[in-house]
Amino acid sequence: MAARMSLLLWCRLRFPAPGTGQTRRAPGRPRLSQVRLSCSEAAAQRAPGRQEADSKVGTRKKTFPEVQAERLEQAQRTVLINCPAKISEKKFLKYLSHHGKINSHYFYESYGTYDVVEFSEKDSITSLQDVIRTPGIEEECAVPFKSRLFTLTLKNPSTQAADQAPVHCHKQSTILVSDLVQKLCSADSVSNQLYTLMDEYQLTEENIKLRFLACSLIQEIACAYFPECRVKPFGSSVNTFGKLGCDLDMFLDLDEIGRSPTRAKTGPFYMEYQMKRVPSQRIASQRILSVIGDCIDNFGPGCVGVQKILNARCPLVRFSHQPTGFQCDLTTNNRVAMRSSELLYIYGSLDSRVRALVFSVRCWARVHGITSTIPGPWITNFSLTMMALFFLQKRTPPIIPTLDQLKDLADAEDKHIVEGHDCTFASNLNKIKPTENTETLDVLLSDFFEYFGNFAFNKNSINIRKVNAF
Ligand SMILES: *[C@@H]1O[C@H](CO)[C@@H](O)[C@H](O)[C@H]1NC(C)=O
256 or 5: which carries more pLDDT confidence? 256
Find out whether the beta carbon of 217 lies less than 6 Å from any atom of ligand 1.
no
Find out whether the beta carbon of 355 lies less than 6 Å from any atom of ligand 1.
no
* Rounded mean pLDDT, 405-426: 92
Report CA(245)–ligand 1 centroid distance (Å).
Answer: 10
Find out whether the beta carbon of 236 lies less than 6 Å from any atom of ligand 1.
no
Find out whether the beta carbon of 243 lies less than 6 Å from any atom of ligand 1.
yes
Note whether residue 261 is domain-resident: no
Note whether residue 131 is domain-resident: yes
Note whether residue 129 is domain-resident: yes
* Phi, psi of 150, rounded to the nearest 5 degrees: -120, 165
Tell me if 378 sits within 8 A of 15, measured CB to CB.
Answer: no
Report CA(404)–ligand 1 centroid distance (Å).
Answer: 29
Domain of residue 92 covers: 65-135+142-170
Note whether residue 91 is domain-resident: yes
Neighbouring-strand partners of residue 418: 421
**Mutate-to-test residue for ligand 1 from 366, 370, 384, 387, highest number of ligand atoms within 8 A of CB:** 366
Report CA(338)–ligand 1 centroid distance (Å).
Answer: 20
Note whether residue 146 is domain-resident: yes
DSSP output for 114-148 = EEEEEESSTHHHHHHHHHPPPPP-SSSPPP----S
Find out whether the beta carbon of 381 lies less than 6 Å from any atom of ligand 1.
yes
CATH number reported for the structural domain that contains residue 126 in this entry: 3.30.70.330
pLDDT at 172: 87
Range with the lowest mean pLDDT among 239-253, 261-275, 411-425? 261-275
pLDDT at 145: 84
Note whether residue 71 is domain-resident: yes
pLDDT at 52: 41
Residue 336 has pLDDT above 70, yes or no: yes
Find out whether the beta carbon of 353 lies less than 6 Å from any atom of ligand 1.
no
Find out whether the beta carbon of 363 lies less than 6 Å from any atom of ligand 1.
yes
pLDDT at 60: 81
Find out whether the beta carbon of 368 lies less than 6 Å from any atom of ligand 1.
no
Structural domain count of the chain: 1
Note whether residue 111 is domain-resident: yes
Cα–Cα distances in angstroms (integers) from residue 98 to residues 103, 146, 339, 382, 440, in the given order: 14, 20, 42, 47, 52
Q: Is the dihedral of CA 396, 402, 408, 411 positive or negative?
A: positive
Note whether residue 285 is domain-resident: no
